[in-house]
């Protein structure tokens, strides 16, 4: 486990999320709200889930008192959600840059959305964090296509590595 690798994965996540955000800016409210069968019933709900997960993991890692899963309380607009997403990306980059490599084995305690508490090493939660976001971004790509948006490009890790 090397800090440079975690920093690269953070940069990848921010790049991939940035691509999604650009696409979300280009869709209309009908596409944003359209019912599409997937893990979540719309592009809006899927994006909200990604942002919620990214926010709560950052809260767990920074030991924020009483972290809140954003999707349980969010009532804002698409623009509001995108603004929150960009704040989280900036916070994530700052956190990872400052997080000591010696702490990668430190336990992180968290609550599952469905209830219950668990503890895993930071590096395990970070790996999950990256994988989770990738999984749901893939769903967003499929949902965007189904909603008629076709100006898509790759958001996979190999595509990112080709660019850097």
**pLDDT, mean over the chain:** 95
Q: What percent of the chain has pLDDT over 70?
A: 100
User: Looking at per-residue confidence, does 54 or 72 come out higher?
Assistant: 54
Phi-psi region of 111 (alpha: psi -120 to 50; beta: other; left: phi over 0): beta
Q: Dump pLDDT digits (tens) for 73-127.
A: 999 999 999 999 999 999 999 999 999 999 999 999 999 888 899 999 999 999 9
Angle at 157 between CA 93 and CA 35, to 5 degrees: 90
Q: Are 40 and 46 in contact (CB under 8 A)?
A: yes
Taking every pair of C-alpha atoms in the chain, what is the biggest distance, in angstroms? 47
d(Cα 27, Cα 61) in Å, to the nearest integer?
33
Say yes or no to pLDDT of 139 above 90: yes
Residue 135 in tokens? 């999984």
Domains delineated in the chain = 3-163 (1.20.120.450)
132 marked as part of a ligand binding site? yes
49 marked as part of a ligand binding site? yes
């Amino acid at each position: 486990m090397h800090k440079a690798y975690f920093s690269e994965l953070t940069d990848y996540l921010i790049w991939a999320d940035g691509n999604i955000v650009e696409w979300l800016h280009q869709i209309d409210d009908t596409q944003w709200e359209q019912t599409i069968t997937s893990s979540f019933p719309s592009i809006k709900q899927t994006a909200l889930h990604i942002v919620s997960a990214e926010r709560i993991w950052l809260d767990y890692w920074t030991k924020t008192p009483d972290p809140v899963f954003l999707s349980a309380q969010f009532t804002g607009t698409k623009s509001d959600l995108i603004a929150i997403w960009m704040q989280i990306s900036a916070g994530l980059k700052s956190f990872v840059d400052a997080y000591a490599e010696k702490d990668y084995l430190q336990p992180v305690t968290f609550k599952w959305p469905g209830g219950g508490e668990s503890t895993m090493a930071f590096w395990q939660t970070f790996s999950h964090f990256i994988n989770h976001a990738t999984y749901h971004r893939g769903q967003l790509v499929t949902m965007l296509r189904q909603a008629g948006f076709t100006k898509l490009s790759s958001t996979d890790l190999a595509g990112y590595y080709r660019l850097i």
